[in-house]
């Protein structure tokens, strides 16, 4: 079961937190896994290739979920930054 969690950080720390979210062993080895999968297929190792495809697809789903989370967080970050900049400009223009 998937659940959402939340915690509070400084606005300027949001990009760093998204970076930490996306740094993952599965993301960094995806190309190596794909090359291994292609090698298994070329070698005719169909049974192991099928297992690898299943694992690869599960890892892609996890990566996709992380990308979706990162996109949502960064979208909120940009809206907050834009809102904060507009509010600052309005405060300055009122003076």
Reported as a single tens digit per residue, the pLDDT across 19-56 is 988 887 666 668 888 899 999 999 999 999 999 999 99
- Whether 91 is in a domain gets the answer no
Domain tally, the chain? 1
∠1-15-23 over CA atoms, to 5°? 55
- Whether 68 is in a domain gets the answer yes
- Whether 58 is in a domain gets the answer yes
- Whether 90 is in a domain gets the answer no
- Whether 10 is in a domain gets the answer no
- Whether 42 is in a domain gets the answer yes
∠54-49-34 over CA atoms, to 5°? 75
Higher pLDDT, 31 or 68: 68
- Whether 88 is in a domain gets the answer no
* Containing structural domain, residue 60: 16-81
List C-alpha distances in Å: 94 to 81, 84, 86, 88, 91: 20, 16, 12, 10, 5
With cut-offs at 50, 70 and 90, classify the pLDDT of residue 84: confident
- Whether 9 is in a domain gets the answer no
């Amino acid at each position: 079961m998937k659940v959402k969690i939340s915690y509070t950080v400084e606005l300027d720390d949001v990009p760093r937190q998204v970076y930490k979210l996306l740094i993952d062993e599965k993301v960094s080895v995806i190309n190596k896994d794909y090359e291994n999968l292609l090698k298994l297929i070329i070698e005719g190792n169909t049974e192991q290739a099928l297992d690898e495809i299943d694992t690869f697809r599960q890892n892609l789903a996890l990566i996709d979920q992380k990308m979706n989370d990162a996109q949502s967080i960064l979208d909120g970050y940009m809206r907050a930054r834009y809102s904060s900049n507009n509010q600052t400009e309005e405060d300055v223009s009122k003076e």
